[in-house]
Structure 1
């Protein structure tokens, strides 16, 4: 799986965190039904690994499923065993090396230039700019891309439709969106509102040019 090519093509990574496993699974199903086909389920979700396993069985290969908040080597092993195709980390740690050794693609969290260099050295397929909301916004990404023009960046953290457009126009490979997209759906909230938000983000991701 070429994660970077998929990020470039789809430009939207949905991040699911929820307090109820069934609701989180319904959220994944709804996103997939609306055409969001690059989805991360955070390990902070209730029974996250069960959600991934069941979603993989139901959705097949048309939806790319990853596990987020991978910190330790055991996290990576658990994610791989559950059927995740890629691992997302909040930063550098043992989970990155273990995920790579298992053949998983990695989206590695970094914020500073030194962390970006370390993420590249660790073999990250792409860099998760996190927390993006702490950087001053899209302007920071443009500044960071000057010394790292070839690095695929995915801003995560407080990315709404307005800042998402600015990040994509500023050179982000894709945007990672959690609560502004998911809302309370993964806790048992309204799935019809999730559908509306998914359509809005998909329209944004499909806008031509940058």
Structure 2
């Protein structure tokens, strides 16, 4: 596999779980999803995640229904900034 999806990352132990996997297997590229939020996105990257995946933490269904896609764009920019800070 090019990258391994780790789901549900939050319930498996969050960033500490990623760090635990990366310790003996640093060559494995991990992509946590499920439980990734703005509050912990940077911690997942610092723990060794190569990427993060977000769903409900990014897409606000109410904003979509109202056509307010700028809300999602702003949230995506916030996630990007968290990842950049962590790297």
TM class, shorter-length: 0.7 to 0.9
Cross-structure match for 1:199: 77
Query: Where in structure 2 are there 5+ consecutive unaligned residues?
Result: none
Query: Where in structure 1 are there 5+ consecutive unaligned residues?
Result: 1-123
Q: State the secondary structure of the residue aligned to 2:34.
A: coil
Identify, as 1 or 2, the structure richer in strand: 1
| Greater RCO, CA 8 A, separation 6+ | 2
Alignment root-mean-square deviation, CA: 1.8
List per-residue Cα deviations over 1:45-67 (Å, max 9, x = no partner).
xxxxxxxxxxxxxxxxxxxxxxx
Cross-structure match for 2:42: 165
List per-residue Cα deviations over 1:78-122 (Å, max 9, x = no partner).
xxxxxxxxxxxxxxxxxxxxxxxxxxxxxxxxxxxxxxxxxxxxx
Q: State the secondary structure of the residue aligned to 2:50.
A: coil
- Quote the offset at 1:191 in angstroms: 1.1
In 2, are the aligned partners of 1:167 and 1:175 still within 8 Å (CA)?
yes
Cross-structure match for 1:153: 30
TM-score by length of structure 1 reads 0.38
TM-score by length of structure 2 reads 0.86
Cross-structure match for 1:144: 21
- Quote the offset at 1:207 in angstroms: 2.1
Greater mean deviation of Cα atoms: 199-208 or 135-144: 199-208
Q: State the secondary structure of the residue aligned to 2:45.
A: helix
The count of aligned residue pairs is 86
Based on CA coordinates, which of the two structures has the bigger radius of gyration?
A: 1
- Quote the offset at 1:184 in angstroms: 1.1
- Quote the offset at 1:182 in angstroms: 1.3
Moved >4 Å (runs of 4+): none
